[in-house]
Amino acid sequence: MAKPLLVLIHEPEKACFDRLLADGFDAGHAAEISSYLAQSTDLEPEFGEIGRACAARGLSFLPLRLDEAANGLSGRDPGSTLVWTLTDGVAYFRGGAAPALARLNGLRIFGSDDSLFALCQDKFRSGAVFAALGLPVPAAGLARDGRWLVEPPASQDGWFVKPNRLGAKIGIWPDSHCRDLDGARDLSHRIFTRYRDDAIVQPYVAGRNVRASFLAAAPQTGPEALGISFVESGGDFQTMEDSLALYGDTGTAAKANGAYAEPELVPVAASQSAADRKIRAIAAKLMDALGLRDVFSLDLRVEAGGAVHLIEFEVCPGLPCFDFRAYCRSQWRMGLPEAMAQAACARLEMK
């Protein structure tokens, strides 16, 4: 049998940016959209360290750019190859093709089924699935260029408006919490004009932002291994500008000039243990009913009284981001490269 191999497939920002330009997007908006792939930019300098962590565990490591994946996966040994996709994507991004390519070649996949790569990037559809599972997700409307496709429910506290298929806070501005539906339609027009996307419109939920991170760095890992933290960024919610300052080239520049400032992570269990338990129960339901596994994250809001609201999920969380690195240190007592290598070994059932 061949030596076990971890293949990490990643889509570079520039490849996405160039495609968007060719499709007629404004350069500034194309740069915002492609910033979703900043984890590819941020992780690439660590490929050598990941390779060494893998080698120390008897595992070979091969990073592949997405455009090389079809050829790079062809002919690999199904018994010894594990494919880990760094970034999801079915609309603006193409990472969702990678697990499908792995399956086509009969290769094992680290992470969730490829169908979830599509679901997680459509907030309106994933919310409908959450609701069908009985999970606490805000109801939602859907607008396209100022026109209602689905009217949103009434709300005394206004509505929150964001792109339906874009992550990394793209298209979230300081006025994304609007007080009337005319404002929500205006925001959907702005989103459509800039990003050609529909807007999901949900009743505004008060509370604090929570990130729940998961990595199966040991066999039979369950919801007990979740890292669940309040993300304190200094505001009610993070905007696109806040996000851009943390990752990719913008984040690197911010670090160089001393302007980089990470949000504070505070364990939810320290002050709201009941909310922590509710979130673990939500994760357990998603792992059982939806098939989340290996690596994922959840975004939630928790009210002062303990009510929990599930906002969205990611099958490819930002591994090199500050919050996931902190999770690896606190839960697994490892840096990111070591945690990735250990998780790959656990998936391959290597000792």
213 and 260: one domain?
Answer: yes
Same domain assignment for residues 246 and 199? no
Task: Indicate if 189 and 213 belong to the same structural domain.
Answer: no
Residues 73 and 53 in one domain: yes
Region of 284 on the Ramachandran plot (φ > 0 left; ψ -120 to 50 alpha; else beta): alpha
Could you tell me if residue 116 is inside a domain? no
> What distance in Å separates the CA atoms of residue 281 and residue 293, rounded to the nearest whole number?
15
CATH of the domain at 273: 3.30.470.20
Sheet arrangement for strand 208-215: 264-267, 227-232, 208-215, 295-302, 308-314
Kindly state whether residues 213 and 343 are assigned to the same domain.
yes
pLDDT of residue 260: 64
- Are residues 162 and 282 both part of a single domain? no
Claim to verify: residue 10 and residue 100 sit in the same structural domain: yes
Q: Which residues of 56-86 are buried (b: 16+ CB within 10 A; e: fewer)?
A: ebebebbbbebeebeebbeebeeebbbbbbb
Average pLDDT, integer, range 279-288: 98
Q: Give the model confidence (pLDDT) of 33-90 as tens digits.
A: 999 999 999 999 999 999 999 999 999 999 999 999 999 999 999 999 999 999 988 7
Q: Are residues 281 and 321 in the same domain?
A: yes
In terms of domains, do 216 and 195 share one? no
pLDDT, position 291: 95
Q: Is 193 left (phi over 0), alpha (psi -120 to 50) or beta?
A: alpha
Burial tier of 133 (Cβ tally within 10 Å: 0-12, 13-18, 19+): middle
Compute the average pLDDT of residues 171-184: 95
Q: Are residues 31 and 103 in the same domain?
A: yes
* Residue 14: per-residue pLDDT: 95
Q: Which domain holds residue 98?
A: 5-111
Of 195, 184, 200, 214, give the one whose Cα is nearest residue 282. 214
Q: What is the mean pLDDT of residues 275-299?
A: 97
Q: Is the pLDDT of residue 210 over 70?
A: yes
Q: Say what the pLDDT of residue 244 is.
A: 82
From 179, 203, 227, give the residue that closes a domain: 203
State whether 243 and 310 are in the same domain: yes
Confidence of residue 1 (pLDDT cuts 50, 70, 90): low
What's the mean pLDDT when you consider all of the chain? 93
282-306 mean pLDDT: 97
Question: Domain boundary at 203, 218, 249, which?
Answer: 203
| Maximum Cα–Cα distance across the chain | 63
Average pLDDT (221-246) is 88
In this prediction, residue 249 carries a pLDDT of 62
Same domain? 225 vs 342:
yes
Asked whether the CA dihedral 123, 240, 206, 322 is positive or negative, the reply is positive
What is the value of pTM for the model shown? 0.94
Q: Is 58 contained in some domain?
A: yes
